[in-house]
Amino acid sequence: MGHTFWNQQRDRAKAALGPKFDLKAFHDAGLLSGAMPLDVLATAIGGYIASGRV
């Protein structure tokens, strides 16, 4: 389940950011905060997407 969710979040970020998508920054946004529930992970990825749109 976690793998599928992770892939969905990556696809969400790629779609939102297009050529600004950075795989390393995506992984940093999702992994550097440590273990978290999936809904919190979705929020963290939302923050990554928002920061990349600037």
Q: Are 22 and 52 in contact (CB under 8 A)?
A: yes
| Count: domains in the chain | 1
Mean pLDDT on 2-21: 96
pLDDT per residue as tens digits for the range 14-31: 999 999 999 999 999 999
pTM score of the predicted model: 0.88
Query: What is the Cα–Cα distance from 38 to 46, expressed in whole angstroms?
Result: 12
Q: Does the pLDDT of residue 54 top 80, yes or no? A: no
Host domain of residue 42: 2-52
Tokens of 41: 């992970």
